[in-house]
Amino acid sequence: MVNVNSQGHLSIGNCDTLELAKDFGTPLYVYDVSMIRQQLRHFHKAFDKTGVKYAISYASKAFAIRAIDQVIAQENGHLDVVSAGELITAVQAGFPMEHVSFHGNNKSLAELQLALDNHVGTIIVDNFYELELLNKLLPQQKQPVNIMLRIAPGISAHTHRYIQTGQVDSKFGFDVQSGQAEQALKQVLQNPKLNLRGYHAHIGSQIMAVAGFTALVQRMVQLAATWQEKFHYQPQVLNFGGGFGIKYTNADHPLAPQEFVYDMIQTLKKEIAQTNLTMPEVWLEPGRSIVGEAGYSLYTIGARKIIPGIRTYLSVDGGMGDNIRPALYQAEYQAVLAARPEATPTETVTIAGRYCESGDILIKDQPLPESTPGDILAVLATGAYGYSMASNYNRVGRPAVVFVKNGHAKLVVKRESITDLTSLDLNYL
Ligand code: LLP
């Protein structure tokens, strides 16, 4: 799972991780840019083989910084944003805005205005309130606004319940069962200022099995066919969201994008053939699977607490502030010592974060070779929902981010300093 250089050190993008830690400090997020490009190319290749028109829209919530948006643009990806912050990041990255989709279950009027002002390609409408807000802004629009309707398809994906989204009892999207999706569709079709491009659905995240995705394809085609008969509307696009699982530990066995895409498109072709629909474009929104495995977190090991017969805690200089996933989702990671990733483990330790909370445990029961304070620990596959969910708990600044490639490291996000952290505070007395 890891690369080792001639000195036996963990190497990322041909950069020695001990050097990276020395040059940029820890905690540090390190991204192997070639891996990110490779993942996107896998998706593109998989689709190119199918002959279907498509777009791979990177869900930037997984990791939304200017540098990644620039890489995605270079790789002909599209982009999903869910807030004014992600949207402006895309603008600052110089991202082609016609390839941006705007998501969210509670977009504000100001955010919708911002999206229109910046010529965002598609607004993915989530609910009736959003339609009302949009209606307020439409009179000033010369051209019809491109939208899609987000549907809650009534499919539960097999994943942690916090990251399931497609089931009926979800805050996202128009419910099908109760007729709300159909009602929204009627409203939209009657509005000449709205150009409906098609339907969107997303069933959840970190999904390993293809069955949920093929079930979604079937469901969406059935719905599209029913609504075509009723309203004579043919969707130009079906957007099946993201959610493709990645390998966090050796226990994870994700499918390659080619396998997901192949099965989904086979199902789509079969289903479409049984309807009067013409083949739509297919959009996917992978986030985690584009950046997850390409990212690593480097930490410096500090205190060791040995509770005889019970547990050894090794504390590192980061934790839940830069990776909330273990605390929030019981997510599992694995780590190696950067200086000797291949050395035989001699002890089992629990990797604790530095934050003031007992739940701040990054990894339980990690086998490791002997280590001493000052050693660098690398946690693997932290590229998705790590930096993007980072917080300033305990008034600790967020780590820096470096992109590495062919032996070169480039700082793409600066470390947050104490000056940055306190810069918004004002005196009360
Ligand atoms: N599209 C939509 C509409 C989404 O809501 C999401 C993720 C994605 C695409 C991308 O899903 P991905 O391919 O990354 O699984 N913070 C959680 C994950 C939350 C996912 C939210 N939506 C975690 O750390 O596991």
Q: Which of 242, 260, 286 is the last residue of a domain?
A: 286
Q: Which domain holds residue 85?
A: 49-286
d(Cα 291, Cα 381) in Å, to the nearest integer? Answer: 9
Taking the centre of ligand 1 as the mean of its atom positions, its distance from the CA of residue 386, in whole angstroms, is: 12
Instruction: Pick the atom of ligand 1 nearest to 389's CA.
Output: 16
Ligand 1 pocket, 292 CB below 6 A? Answer: no
The residue whose CB lies within 8 Å of the most ligand 1 atoms, and thus the one to mutate among 60, 82, 100, 285, is 285
Contact (Cβ atoms closer than 8 angstroms) between residue 33 and residue 13 = yes
Is the minimum distance from the CB of 163 to ligand 1 under 6 angstroms? yes
pLDDT of residue 248: 98
The reply to whether 282 and 320 lie within a common domain is: no
What pLDDT is stored for residue 167 in this prediction? 73
At 47 the three-state DSSP class reads helix
* CA distances in angstroms from 190 to 193, 194, 230, 233, listed in the order given: 9, 9, 14, 11
Are both 235 and 305 inside the same structural domain? no
Look at residue 40 and tell me if it is in a domain: no
Query: What is residue 154's predicted lDDT score, i.e. its pLDDT?
Result: 86
Mutate to test the pocket of ligand 1, among 102, 288, 362 (most ligand atoms within 8 A of CB): 288
The domain boundary, picked from 262, 286, 310, lies at: 286
Give nearest CA residue, ligand 1 atom 19: 163
Are residues 356 and 238 both part of a single domain? no
One domain, residues 25 and 60? no
Tell me if 120 is assigned to some domain. Answer: yes
pLDDT tens readout for residues 38-83:
999 999 999 999 999 999 999 999 999 999 999 999 999 999 999 9
Distances in Å between the Cα of 246 and the Cα atoms of 3, 47, 89, 376 are 18, 19, 26, 24
Q: Do the domain assignments include residue 172?
A: yes
Q: Where are the alpha helices (DSSP H) in 165-246?
A: 180-189, 211-231
- Strand partners for 78: 57
Angle at 84 between CA 80 and CA 90, to 5 degrees: 50
Ligand 1 centroid–CA 62 distance in Å is: 7
Token digits of residue 216: 């979604």
Residues 61 and 18 in one domain: no
Q: Is the CB of 206 under 6 A from ligand 1?
A: yes
Q: Is residue 353 part of a domain?
A: yes
228 and 364 co-located in one domain: no
The CA distance from 234 to 224, in Å, is 7
364 and 262 in a single domain? The answer is no
Task: Report the DSSP beta bridge partners of residue 352.
Answer: 315, 361
With beta carbons less than 8 A apart as the criterion, state whether 120 and 96 touch: no
Ligand 1 centre and the CA of 145: distance in Å? Answer: 25
Render pLDDT for 259-291 as a digit per residue (tens, 0 to 9): 999 999 999 999 999 999 999 999 999 999 999
Residue 69 covered by a domain: yes
Decide: helix, strand or coil at residue 271. helix
- Whether residue 175 sits in one domain with residue 70: yes
**Overall size of the chain counted in residues:** 429
- How confident is the model at residue 169, as a pLDDT? 83
Helix (H) or strand (E) holding 41: helix 33-50
**Cβ pair 259, 210 in contact under 8 A:** yes
Q: Mark whether 356 is an active-site residue.
A: yes
Q: How far is the C-alpha of 37 from the C-alpha of 72, rounded, in Å?
A: 8
Are 123 and 226 part of one and the same domain? yes
- Which residues sit opposite 281 in a β-bridge? 237
Q: Say whether both 412 and 319 belong to one domain.
A: yes
Q: Kindly name the residue from 211, 273, 306, 356 that is annotated as catalytic.
A: 356
C-alpha angle 196/89/320, rounded to 5°? 110
- The residue contributing the CA closest to ligand 1 atom 6 is 242
Q: What is the rounded distance in angstroms from the CA atom of residue 8 to the CA atom of residue 322?
A: 27
Pocket lining: 257 vs ligand 1, CB cutoff 6 Å:
no
Residue ranges for the chain with pLDDT beneath 70: 157-166
| Mutate-to-test residue for ligand 1 from 43, 58, 61, highest number of ligand atoms within 8 A of CB | 61
Q: Specify whether 195 is located in the same domain as 324.
A: no
Closest CA to 58 of 383, 390, 399: 383
pLDDT for 155 equals 85
Residues 97, 80: Cα–Cα separation, whole Å: 10
Ligand 1: which atom is nearest the Cα of residue 243?
15
Determine how β-strand 10-12 pairs with β-strand 15-16. Answer: antiparallel
Q: Quote the ligand 1 centre to 115 CA distance (angstroms).
A: 21
| Non-local CB neighbours of 93 within 8 Å, separated by 6+ positions | 66, 67, 69, 70, 73
Residue 44 placed within a domain: no
Q: In the structure encoding, which two tokens stand for residue 55, read together?
A: 């777009």
Residue 71 structure tokens = 């890489």
In a domain, 268, yes or no: yes
Task: Please give the distance, rounded to the nearest whole angstrom, from the Cα atom of residue 244 to the centre of ligand 1.
Answer: 9
- What is the C-alpha separation between 96 and 118, in angstroms, rounded? 10
Q: Are 60 and 86 in contact (CB under 8 A)?
A: yes
Which atom of ligand 1 is closest in space to residue 292's alpha carbon?
A: 14
CATH number, domain at 112?
Answer: 3.20.20.10
The three-class DSSP label of residue 32 is strand
The CA-based diameter of the chain, rounded to the nearest angstrom, is 72
Q: What does the alpha-carbon distance between residue 315 and residue 301 come to, in Å, rounded to a whole number?
A: 6
Domain count, the chain: 2
Assigned domain for 428 exists: no
285 Cα to the center of ligand 1, angstroms: 9
Distance CA 44, CA 40 (A): 6
User: What is the value of pTM for the model shown?
Assistant: 0.97
Q: Which residues pair with 408 in a beta bridge?
A: 405
Give yes or no for residue 285 CB within 6 A of ligand 1.
yes
Ligand 1: centre distance to CA 209 (Å): 16
Q: Report whether residue 46 contacts ligand 1, using a CB cutoff of 6 Å.
A: no
Q: Which of 286, 303, 334 is the last residue of a domain?
A: 286
CA atoms within 13 A on the CB side of 205: 20
Residue 27 sits in the same domain as residue 129 = no
The dihedral region occupied by 136, where left means phi > 0, alpha psi between -120 and 50, and beta the remainder, is alpha
